[in-house]
């Protein structure tokens, strides 16, 4: 079967490059993927799949029906671009000013379409149904939630996904057992002091000074009170407060992101942060408010499905193109929300140019993809989704 899959992928590879370039040159922001969704739906319909549009707002779902096996295998791709002005001189560069596919979601969408094309063309009787999820708004961590609210995970027994990675060379695949990405939560702290004359601090409660104590104490307390083997990154990225240089500020708002890998660490963070903030504020007479909003959990790859993907990548691409990734990333990925409904795995698709000294990182205006990655992605994903049906049904 692998050789049949390979020959179909080979045959459609020029078309896949064409698709990827079309999507790349027409990026759309999160939640506004109207044209991309229409284009994706068009390609899927032309393969003869059952297509449903406007799922999860601007998402697309397509199904390739199978036989008697009641399991459903979901394959997920995200479609949104970023508010970044592209600085790469390509014939198919972004035509939308200030918007760019700088996170490779154009490649993810192309690979998803490629797998649909391959499975449809092989015209196999697959035991169960394959469901393709083309989701919007991954960059704002909303799209997966919207899709799930519209029922795309109903009946799903496993879910597969990928993300491009410029530090893995093109044609190779990176596999990670366990946590791939971090949980990412939003933090807002409001410090309320008392305004006063800039020259008479003893008559006021200086919210700016107390806020800086809060920021410093949080950073120091992580290193002294939290298990260093369970990483936490707390970044305050925004501070708002004060009205004039000679007036002591009464209110300061701190906004940040909190990243962690272990669910138990994540669960205790809101209470721990509050205890630090309360301690500092109490010492200096300020009041505070804390709003801790849970974002997406960590992507925790399922061992069986990860093993299957590793085996399939090794067979399809050659063992030298399989990399085991030893460290997780503290980035976030809303693929993790699907994993709250079914086991799954996400792999890293290498897109790095091997003949270049620099491969610019994701979200960089000069981020670029070695397109030979597309074939590797489709081969790995298509073969894994074919072999999935040979796993014992554990549902
Ligand atoms: Ni991304």
- Write the DSSP string, 104-155: SHHHHHHHHHHHHHHHHHHT---SSEEEEEEES-TTTT-HHHHHHHTTTTTT
Is a pLDDT exceeding 80 seen at residue 281?
A: yes
Residue 394: inside a domain, yes or no?
no
The counts of H helices and E strands in the chain are 9, 16
Segment 96-121 mean pLDDT: 98
Residues with CB under 5 A from ligand 1 (ion): 103
End residue of a domain, out of 296, 314, 331? 296
Same domain, 166 and 310: yes
Active site residue 206: no
C-alpha 101 to ligand 1 mean position (Å): 9
* Position 256 confidence tier, pLDDT thresholds 50, 70, 90: very high
Same domain, 169 and 254: no
C-alpha 192 to ligand 1 mean position (Å): 37
End residue of a domain, out of 236, 265, 296? 296
Segment 178-197 mean pLDDT: 97
Is a pLDDT exceeding 80 seen at residue 75?
A: yes
Annotated catalytic residue within 78, 80, 302, 370: 80
C-alpha 386 to ligand 1 mean position (Å): 25
Number of domains forming the structure of the chain: 2
Annotated catalytic residue within 28, 78, 138, 250: 138
C-alpha 143 to ligand 1 mean position (Å): 12
Is a pLDDT exceeding 80 seen at residue 268?
A: yes
Same domain, 196 and 310: no
Is a pLDDT exceeding 90 seen at residue 394?
A: no
Contact criterion met (CB below 8 Å) for 333 and 138: yes
Same domain, 303 and 338: yes
User: For residue 120, which of 390, 385, 388, 394 has the smallest C-alpha distance?
Assistant: 385
Segment 169-175 mean pLDDT: 97
The parent domain of residue 336 ranges over 2-178+298-388
End residue of a domain, out of 296, 323, 344? 296
Q: How many CB atoms lie within 10 A of CB 131?
A: 23
Same domain, 105 and 46: yes
Same domain, 37 and 118: yes
Is a pLDDT exceeding 70 seen at residue 395?
A: no
Residue 393 pLDDT = 79
Contact criterion met (CB below 8 Å) for 53 and 60: yes
Residue 185 pLDDT = 97
* Position 90 confidence tier, pLDDT thresholds 50, 70, 90: very high
Same domain, 125 and 218: no
Active site residue 307: no
Segment 196-209 mean pLDDT: 98
**Residue 335 CB partners (closer than 8 Å, separation 6+):** 76, 144, 159, 161, 163, 299, 344, 346
Is a pLDDT exceeding 90 seen at residue 49?
A: yes
Residue 395: inside a domain, yes or no?
no
**3-18 pLDDT, tens digit each:** 999 999 999 999 999 9
Same domain, 364 and 250: no
Residue 162: inside a domain, yes or no?
yes
Segment 200-213 mean pLDDT: 98
C-alpha 31 to ligand 1 mean position (Å): 14
Same domain, 277 and 147: no
C-alpha 165 to ligand 1 mean position (Å): 9
**129-142 pLDDT, tens digit each:** 999 999 999 999 99
CATH number of the CATH domain containing 263:
3.30.70.360
């Amino acid at each position: 079967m692998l050789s049949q899959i390979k020959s179909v992928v080979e045959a459609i590879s020029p078309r896949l490059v064409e698709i990827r370039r079309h999507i790349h040159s027409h990026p759309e922001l999160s939640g506004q993927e109207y044209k991309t969704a229409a284009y994706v739906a068009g390609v899927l319909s032309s393969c003869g799949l059952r297509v449903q549009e406007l799922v999860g707002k601007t998402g697309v779902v397509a199904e390739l029906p199978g036989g008697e096996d009641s399991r459903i295998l979901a394959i997920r791709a995200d479609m949104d671009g970023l508010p970044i002005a592209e600085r790469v001189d390509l014939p198919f560069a972004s035509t939308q000013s200030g918007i760019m596919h700088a996170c490779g979601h154009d490649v993810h969408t192309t690979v998803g379409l490629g797998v649909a094309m391959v499975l449809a063309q092989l015209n196999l009787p697959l035991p169960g149904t394959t469901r393709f999820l083309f989701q919007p708004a991954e960059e704002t961590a909303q799209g997966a939630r919207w899709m799930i609210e519209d029922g795309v995970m109903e009946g799903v027994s496993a879910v597969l996904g990928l993300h491009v990675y410029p530090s893995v060379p093109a044609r190779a695949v990176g596999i990670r057992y366990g946590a791939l990405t971090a949980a990412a939560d939003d933090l807002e702290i409001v410090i309320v002091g008392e305004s006063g004359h800039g020259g008479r601090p003893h008559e006021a409660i200086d919210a700016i000074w107390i806020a800086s104590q809060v920021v410093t104490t949080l950073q120091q307390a992580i290193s002294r009170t939290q298990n260093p083997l369970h990483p936490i990154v707390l970044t305050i990225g925004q501070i708002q407060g004060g009205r004039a240089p000679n007036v002591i500020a009464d209110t300061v708002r701190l906004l940040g992101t909190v990243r962690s890998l272990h669910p138990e660490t994540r669960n205790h963070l809101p209470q721990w942060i509050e205890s630090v903030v309360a301690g500092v504020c109490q010492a200096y007479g300020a009041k505070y408010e804390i709003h801790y909003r849970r974002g997406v959990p960590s992507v925790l790859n399922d061992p069986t499905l990860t093993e299957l993907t590793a085996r399939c990548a090794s067979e399809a691409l050659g063992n030298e193109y399989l990399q085991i990734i030893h460290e997780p990333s503290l980035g976030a990925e809303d693929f993790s929300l699907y994993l709250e409904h079914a086991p799954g795995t996400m792999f890293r698709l290498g897109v790095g140019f091997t003949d270049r000294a620099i491969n610019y990182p994701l979200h960089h205006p000069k981020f670029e993809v070695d397109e030979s990655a597309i074939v590797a992605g489709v081969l790995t994903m298509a073969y894994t989704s074919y072999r999935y049906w040979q796993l014992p049904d554990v549902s």
